[in-house]
């Protein structure tokens, strides 16, 4: 079949999760690949509860009441797996004995993930705080470093309204001492109505540990400043998946993968190869996402292709690519094969090959995490139908930070606030015969710091996790150009006609039914704007009547990383319930796996941080 052109968006996020079988020789490298995913930073919040916190803030409340509000907000909004601890000083001894007062520091909450029980316990403890004593900042910093342990990324967030009243040890000397230990630890400091005499000391703590300093004049600004620090530490892209080691030498020695989500890595400029089973009557979806610590250089290119193994690179089943305009830290693409029965010659043993082409890293570069997603659709998955999560609304509709954690929403308007530099994701289900329109708005305050490239960006991804043009002006980002006030971007409307439908117009990728992902951000801001919280609104409209033709339903593996699994009636055909992604599933190497497992429709992972003022138009090629 001839390839069909389609205009594509460039820039970035696609997450690929592919089920795989690890060969014994690949075990060591697979273990290394697992370590490529950055872990959430462990954070210890150190709160000043000295007697001066009973004074009024600029809003008329006590500083203590304002601090309780701000800390409770952090606890409420912390991701469930975010490790958070809480230490206070000046909270228990109200007397004049300096020796006793300067030893008054306690860890009231160990550094632990914020599950439901930990969250409830932390809020109860915060509600009971009293401010009575001294200000032993230096001693508290030493103890907070112990709270965090000795491994991984760690941060201390210090909130203080004044000078240390207990030196020695001087707080800045303690900060230098911690930095000299060579551990990955930074101290961020918020001066809460701190006098000028205290600011120099507090700023020194931040400066010598490569942390940050900010002033807060009232409870609202304290809440915002704390929110900014924690969002920066937690809400970054976290590559996930079952470790797999793709071959660097072609299809012959590549591991066999089954539906699921997996994590590999690009090394040097080498491509990654995997084997996959697919009969002519089945359809294959493959998506891939590379994750960089910083933005990609302009022109970085990732391609995913699949087809029967042979000479050269496989591409007869699908081929998709995406190119970066720069400023993005994830680069993603994905595609689906066309219906094959009657049009497609079987591959030998029904086994084909997937290649993820790497034009991102070069020899000598650090390894880069790559997520892989593979799904299969056939009559058995079609009979089961997709499993769709319940949409959320209100506060529960706050965006997630990957395809995996994208928040399910339905039609309507959803409002929240995001920090500049964040790129939250939402997901919405769309069927063939329906029309999708997305409108996103942001309110930019009058004192917002801007640069020439500051703007408001919106990207929509189809069910293949392809990023596509928002509208016909080919721009991903609307520049503010020094203006403030309300800005909106409207994407669509798009007719979801069904992939490969002959009646489909030039849809720029939006003819594929399934799960669509929406991502929004204030892009490429001035450095001083990073972390500023701004209100946004997201309006989703899904209109039209679903067509009578059933959309393909893909099985992406029963893998915790994807949040997917078979329907309750699914069976592997050997008496076991359900199916498994990853090595366990792949090891079966059995056609019955995808024949008999039911499919929940796609969750994926990956976060596209929009970059670029305009997107190039690329032609999408699929050979079959």
Delimit the domains of the chain by residue range: 7-37+240-619, 42-234
Six token digits for residue 341: 């029965």
Task: Tell me the per-residue pLDDT of 551-609, one tens digit each, with 9 for 90 and over.
Answer: 788 999 875 444 444 432 332 222 222 233 343 333 333 333 333 322 222 323 333 33
Residue 90 phi, psi dihedral angles, 5° rounding: 75, 20
Alpha helix positions (H), 165-245: 171-180, 196-208, 219-234
Task: Tell me the per-residue pLDDT of 70-125, one tens digit each, with 9 for 90 and over.
Answer: 899 888 877 777 899 999 999 999 999 999 999 999 999 999 988 889 989 999 99
Look at residue 172 in the predicted model and tell me its pLDDT.
94
Contact between 255 and 23 under an 8 Å Cβ cutoff? The reply is: yes
Look at residue 8 in the predicted model and tell me its pLDDT.
36
Contact between 172 and 208 under an 8 Å Cβ cutoff? The reply is: yes
CA 608 – CA 399 distance, rounded (Å): 13
Six token digits for residue 567: 């329907």
Tokens 């300067």 identify what position?
102
Look at residue 297 in the predicted model and tell me its pLDDT.
64
CA 9 – CA 446 distance, rounded (Å): 32
Paired strand residues for 338:
none
Strands 185-192 and 154-160: parallel
Opening angle at CA 384, ends 257 and 508, nearest 5? 70
CA 126 – CA 408 distance, rounded (Å): 31
List the chain residues with pLDDT less than 50: 1-38, 501-507, 560-624
Look at residue 162 in the predicted model and tell me its pLDDT.
87
Contacts of 1 (CB under 8 A, 6+ apart): 338, 343, 623, 624
Distance between alpha carbon 198 and the CA centroid of its chain, in Å?
Answer: 37
Architecture of the structural domain at 42-234: 3-Layer(aba) Sandwich (3.40)
Residue 10 phi, psi dihedral angles, 5° rounding: -115, 150
Q: Which of 585, 609, 569 has the alpha carbon at shortest distance from 375?
A: 585
Cα–Cα distances in Å, from 254 out to 92, 221, 245, 352, 363? 62, 54, 8, 11, 21
**Coil, strand or helix: which one is 27?**
helix
Look at residue 26 in the predicted model and tell me its pLDDT.
38
Please tell me the number of Cα atoms within 13 Å of 80 on its side-chain side. Answer: 5
Contact between 5 and 618 under an 8 Å Cβ cutoff? The reply is: no
Alpha helix positions (H), 15-61: 27-34
Contacts of 262 (CB under 8 A, 6+ apart): 16, 17, 18, 19, 20, 241, 242, 243, 244, 371, 372, 581, 582
Q: Which of 256, 246, 340, 317 has the alpha carbon at shortest distance from 288?
A: 246
Look at residue 51 in the predicted model and tell me its pLDDT.
94
Task: Tell me the per-residue pLDDT of 155-188, one tens digit each, with 9 for 90 and over.
Answer: 999 999 988 999 899 999 999 999 888 777 889 9
Six token digits for residue 48: 């000043």
CA 608 – CA 595 distance, rounded (Å): 33
Beta-strand ranges (E) seen in 258-401 are 260-266, 272-277, 283-291, 301-308, 318-323, 330-336, 351-359, 368-377
Q: Which of 242, 309, 233 has the alpha carbon at shortest distance from 530?
A: 233
Q: How many other CB atoms are found less than 10 A from the CB of residue 26?
A: 22
CA 175 – CA 183 distance, rounded (Å): 12
Q: Which of 596, 615, 616 has the alpha carbon at shortest distance from 258?
A: 596
Written as one string, the DSSP assignment of 141-168 is HHHHHHHT-SSS-EEEEEEESS--SSPS
User: Residue-wise over 124-141: b if at least 16 C-beta within 10 A, else e?
Assistant: eebeebebbbbbbbbbbb
Q: How many residues would you count in the chain?
A: 624
């Amino acid at each position: 079949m001839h390839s069909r052109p389609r205009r594509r968006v460039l820039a970035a996020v696609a997450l690929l999760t592919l089920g795989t079988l690890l060969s014994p020789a690949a075990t060591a490298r697979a273990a290394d690949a697992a370590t490529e995913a950055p872990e959430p930073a462990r954070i210890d919040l150190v709160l000043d509860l000295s007697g001066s916190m009973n004074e009024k803030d600029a809003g008329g409340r006590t500083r203590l009441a304002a601090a309780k509000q701000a800390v409770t907000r952090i606890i409420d909004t912390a991701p469930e797996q975010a490790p958070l601890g809480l230490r206070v000083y000046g909270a228990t001894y109200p007397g004049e004995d300096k020796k006793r007062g300067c030893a008054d520091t306690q860890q009231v909450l160990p550094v632990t993930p914020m599950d439901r029980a930990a969250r409830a316990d932390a809020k109860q403890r915060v509600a009971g705080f009293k401010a009575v004593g001294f200000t032993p900042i230096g001693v508290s910093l030493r103890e907070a470093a112990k709270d965090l342990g000795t491994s991984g990324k760690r941060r201390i967030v210090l909130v203080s309204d004044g000078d240390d009243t207990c030196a020695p040890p001087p707080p800045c000397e303690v900060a230098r001492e911690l930095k000299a230990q060579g551990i990955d630890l930074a101290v961020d400091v918020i001066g809460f109505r701190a006098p000028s005499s205290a600011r120099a000391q507090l700023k020194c703590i931040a400066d010598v540990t490569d942390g940050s300093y900010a002033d807060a004049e009232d409870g609202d600004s304290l809440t915002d400043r704390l929110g900014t620090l924690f969002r920066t530490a937690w809400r970054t892209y976290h590559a996930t998946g079952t470790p797999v080691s793709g071959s660097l030498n072609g299809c012959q020695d590549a591991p066999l993968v089954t539906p699921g989500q997996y994590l590999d890595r690009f090394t040097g400029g080498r491509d990654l190869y995997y084997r996959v089973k697919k009969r002519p009557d089945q359809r294959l979806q493959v998506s891939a996402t590379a994750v960089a610590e910083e933005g990609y250089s302009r022109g970085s290119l990732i391609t995913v292709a699949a087809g029967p193994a042979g000479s050269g690179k496989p591409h007869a089943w699908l081929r998709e690519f995406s190119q970066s305009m720069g400023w993005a830290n994830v680069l993603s693409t994905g595609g689906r094969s066309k219906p094959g029965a009657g049009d497609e010659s079987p591959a030998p043993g029904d086994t084909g090959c997937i290649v993820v082409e790497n034009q991102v890293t070069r020899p000598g570069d650090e390894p880069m995490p790559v997520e892989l997603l593979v799904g299969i659709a056939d009559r058995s998955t079609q009979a089961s139908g997709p499993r769709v999560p319940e949409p959320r609304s209100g506060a529960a509709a706050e965006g997630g930070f990957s395809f995996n954690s994208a928040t399910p929403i339905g039609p309507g308007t959803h409002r929240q606030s995001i920090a500049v530099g964040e790129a939250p994701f939402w997901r919405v289900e769309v069927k063939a015969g329906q029309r999708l329109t997305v409108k996103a708005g942001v309110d930019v305050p009058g004192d917002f710091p801007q640069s020439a490239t500051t703007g408001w960006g919106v990207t929509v991804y189809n069910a293949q996790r392809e990023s596509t043009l928002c509208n016909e002006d080919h721009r991903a980002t609307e520049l503010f150009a020094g203006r403030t006030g309300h800005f909106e971007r409207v994407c669509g409307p798009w007719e979801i006609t069904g992939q490969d439908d002959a009646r489909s117009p030039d849809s720029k990728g939006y003819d594929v039914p399934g799960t669509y992902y929406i991502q929004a951000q204030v892009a490429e801001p001035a450095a001083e704007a990073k972390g500023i919280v701004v209100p946004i609104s997201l309006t989703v409209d899904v209109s039209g009547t679903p067509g009578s033709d059933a959309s393909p339903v893909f099985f992406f593996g029963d893998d915790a990383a994807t949040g997917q699994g078979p329907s309750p009636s699914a069976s592997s055909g050997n008496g076991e319930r359900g199916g498994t992604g990853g090595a366990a599933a792949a090891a079966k190497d059995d056609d019955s796996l995808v024949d008999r497992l039911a499919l929940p429709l796609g969750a994926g992972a990956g976060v596209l941080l929009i970059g670029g003022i305009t997107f190039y138009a690329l032609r999408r090629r699929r050979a079959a």
